[in-house]
Structure 1
Amino acid sequence: MTTASRAATAPRGTVGTCPSAHAAPPSGPEDPLELLDLFGEGFVQDPYPWLDRLRSEAPVYRDAATGLWLVSRYEDIRRVLLEPAAFLPDNAQHAVTPLGVPALRRLARAGFRLGPALANNATDTHPGLRRAVTRFFNARRVEAAVPVIERIADELLGTVRAELDVTGTSDLFRAFAHTLPCRVMMELLGVQGLDADTLVRWSDASLELFWGRPSADRQLELADLVAEFHTWLTELVGDGSTPADSFVGALARHRLPDGGLLDPRTAVSACFFVFVAGQSTTGQLISTVLHRALAEPGLWPRPAGQAGLAEEWVEEVLRREPPVTSWRRVTARPVELGGVAVPAGAGLLLMLMGSGSDPDVFTDPGRMIPGRADVRHHLAFGVGRHRCPGASLARTEAAVALRAAARRLPSVRLAHDAAPTPTLGLLSFRAPLRVPVVLPRRPS
């Protein structure tokens, strides 16, 4: 199997750098909501003015550019997530940007097809399959994983520290946040014979291809990487020697409600989702947690020694700035939502990020207040039958990462560049793509 270079998959185009004539955030009536561009630099860098305006002026709003109905109020989003019969998950993993024929051909040659498995599954196979997956992320396994997370974090931070000692600078996204969850997940799920950098590249390519706005040429590059990923997963699932107690082995031996074995295509689809969500989105969470902690006056390096502060900070970031900023549903029938008549078959975009700043639910939502009483009401991991099965692991990894970084790097400071921080700006995913830090020189 061949792998492309990391440079070939560096996020670009729709990833926080896309030019847009509609980039400026709203400032008043002269900026109608029709100027909203979900991929534009203005929205990616500072979505809050737009989200606040949607929530107050048009809580269920049809975005002409994507054709999606944007749902921005907390209670409406929660209702959609808790009524799976009326609001189906069928479109959860559809490509946001229609793929061109050349890209589709490259995927087809690899047999790529994501059938209903987890996030996009409304069938009666979902509960059992979800249970099979969730047992790898239950409380006992997460608790047992803490030493693994700490060991890998310490190793990566040792490299960061060495780089800081030599150059005075480092990037905690590249050297730490982007890699830690992938290595942890591979150990916990028993994935062998693959280097973490390759899995990270495949995962990043998958997110950009299906949730981004890539050009036709970029689609071809991404499709090649996604095809490699799918081919590897297919071979992995089809390998009869996979240990029964590994994640892939458990899926390969999973029984459906009718007693039959889970078909390989569905097992591949489940692995695809878990391998992407289990490390890319957690890496995005860690990147945001570190960036916000370093930028918050008086916070760094307190999480290293103040019990519970790391967990409280992670929870506030999940509320205010979650890595999964939105999620999709489709209406099964005509419904009234937020006082708006929505037709059957309408695609909904649930603005999870905006829901965490809804003033009807959260007190002083614009402020980061670690330990706030209402924080666990946030919807960053969803709610109901499709709530993220890896929520506990993601929380734990992010808290361990913050605590370890604050302990190993107590003197670092966030480097302030003139240019805005490059930011992942896909439809449903957002995070800093750099966390540049400097080690202040001691006076001679």
Structure 2
Amino acid sequence: MDMRDAEITPSTVELGGVPITFTDPEMRRCPFSAYHKLREEQPVYKDPVSGNYILTRYKDVRKAAMNTKTLSCKTGIIQTRKSEISEQIDRMFQEQGYLPMDTLVTNDPPDHRLYRALVDKAFTREKVDSLEPQIERAVAEIIDGFIDVEEVDFFDAFAMRLPLTVFTEILGVTDRDIDKFKRWNDMSLETSNPALAPERELELVPAVIELQQYLAKNVERVRAAPDHSLLSTLVHANVDGRSLDMRELISILWLLFLAGGETTANAIAGGMAILIERPELADEIRADSAKLDAFVEEVLRIKAPATTMFRRVTADMEIGGVAIPEGSIIETRFGAANLDPDVFPDPEVLDLERENSRAHLTFGAGIHMCIGNQLARGELKASFRQLVERMHNFRAARGEASFAYTSTYVAYGLTKLWLSFDRR
């Protein structure tokens, strides 16, 4: 491409007199005004701090997500992170744990195909469906734990606890120290911040290694004694005589842990926030169980918990008239694309009759479509089915102070939701 053909030169866009940059934690906590302004004024926007090109239109985000030719997932930001202290951190992983490697989300064809084929064997429809009784039981038990209290931090007591409990089902373990899993999850997610300070990066590595060692112990357990868990299926999966070694397994399991924990929790908490705002939706779901699927898809669209992913430009290219040079990082802002009014009229309104709600990009698109999307949908359906059956009159227990939002770079959602309700 001749870079002179591009007509638009990105310039800084301001919101309330402040330049829009997603390195700002406050902007990440509530990015929607920035999304709307960028989509209208500069849908391909060069972040003035990170230098990343931010995509906010549905058509651009989807096209980029599908592009495996000139947009590489090997960015050096997630899992195989590159920084000024990479050599020191790599030594720590090699000496005490397992050096992270590119497998699924951070990999490209043709290598990606092998890993996807192996992981697909563990996440078949049959395997995921077999978890349904455990998920339903986990939802019931977690609700039992707080249904008699006057108020509860719903995020901590339910939204985060459920996906982490489901992860223990995937591993086939009885160890359910959810606080430990939550700590591993929080610290692992923090490593995806492109503006992470080197000293903080060093502080996070021991927690990731601790998680790696826990996962490795369970891999060895099912290698020696196969069981019916998804972990065992993954460990023993074979494609053309090729199975996964320990380093590959640890990288994949770490990714599954991140993808299935915080993001699912954020979607569940986001759905509850909507029910607080619009209590009639709970009545509609109770009256017509078919509305549950529509509710879940709209929650996933509006509250997109995995709000962005990164791609590295491998050759000079143009998006929306903007020249983007080789080596640049672009961000596919799924949270913005899902609210594009050109695709979803009245995008911020949860509409149980919306015909194209499932067209959202919350799980990505193309070969990198989230492998756990059916599992996440199953967790959300089980959650809201039982929540509306057993409770009603959901309300914010502490007014505006009931809500606190994450500043994690790649995720959007609540970290606190103080909830009151009435038993049914």
Aligned equivalents of 1:111 and 1:352: distance in 2? 33
Aligned equivalents of 2:267 and 2:144: distance in 1? 21
Match of 2:78 in 1: 93
Q: 1:49 aligns with which of 14, 23, 33?
A: 33
Instruction: Verify the 8 A CA contact 1:117 1:270 in the aligned structure 2.
Output: yes
Q: TM-score, normalization: structure 2?
A: 0.87
Instruction: Verify the 8 A CA contact 2:405 2:415 in the aligned structure 1.
Output: yes
Residue segments in structure 1 that go unaligned for 5+ positions in a row? 1-23
Q: 1:293 aligns with which of 275, 281, 293?
A: 275
Aligned equivalents of 1:107 and 1:424: distance in 2? 28
1:379-432 CA-to-partner distances (Å, cap 9, x unmatched) read 110110000011111112112111211222224422243447211121110111
Structure 1 window deviating more from structure 2 (430-439 vs 373-382): it is 430-439
Aligned equivalents of 1:383 and 1:418: distance in 2? 35
Structure 1 window deviating more from structure 2 (388-397 vs 39-48): it is 39-48
- What amino acid is aligned across from residue 311 of structure 2 in structure 1? R
- What amino acid is aligned across from residue 338 of structure 1 in structure 2? G
Match of 2:4 in 1: none
Aligned equivalents of 2:344 and 2:364: distance in 1? 17
Q: 1:70 aligns with which of 27, 50, 54?
A: 54
Aligned equivalents of 1:225 and 1:120: distance in 2? 21
Residue segments in structure 2 that go unaligned for 5+ positions in a row? 1-12
Q: 2:334 aligns with which of 352, 355, 368?
A: 352
Match of 1:379 in 2: 361
Q: Does 1:26 align with 2:8?
A: no
Distance 1:96 1:114, change over 3 A: closer
Match of 2:388 in 1: 406
Instruction: Verify the 8 A CA contact 1:328 1:350 in the aligned structure 2.
Output: yes
Distance 1:429 1:283, change over 3 A: same
1:338-380 CA-to-partner distances (Å, cap 9, x unmatched) read 1111111211111110001112211121222123012111111
State the secondary structure of the residue aligned to 1:116. coil
Q: 2:224 aligns with which of 241, 244, 268?
A: 241
Aligned equivalents of 2:80 and 2:115: distance in 1? 23
Aligned equivalents of 2:394 and 2:386: distance in 1? 13
Q: 1:315 aligns with which of 297, 304, 308?
A: 297
Distance 1:372 1:317, change over 3 A: same
Distance 1:95 1:425, change over 3 A: farther
Q: CA deviation at 1:98?
A: 4.7
Structure 1 window deviating more from structure 2 (236-245 vs 304-313): it is 236-245
Distance 1:412 1:54, change over 3 A: closer
- What amino acid is aligned across from residue 241 of structure 1 in structure 2? A
Q: TM-score, normalization: structure 1?
A: 0.83
Match of 2:112 in 1: 126
Q: 2:255 aligns with which of 256, 273, 286?
A: 273
Instruction: Give % identity.
Output: 28
Match of 1:155 in 2: 141
Aligned equivalents of 1:427 and 1:196: distance in 2? 23
Match of 1:183 in 2: 165
Q: Does 1:206 align with 2:188?
A: yes
Aligned equivalents of 1:108 and 1:116: distance in 2? 16
Q: Does 1:393 align with 2:378?
A: no
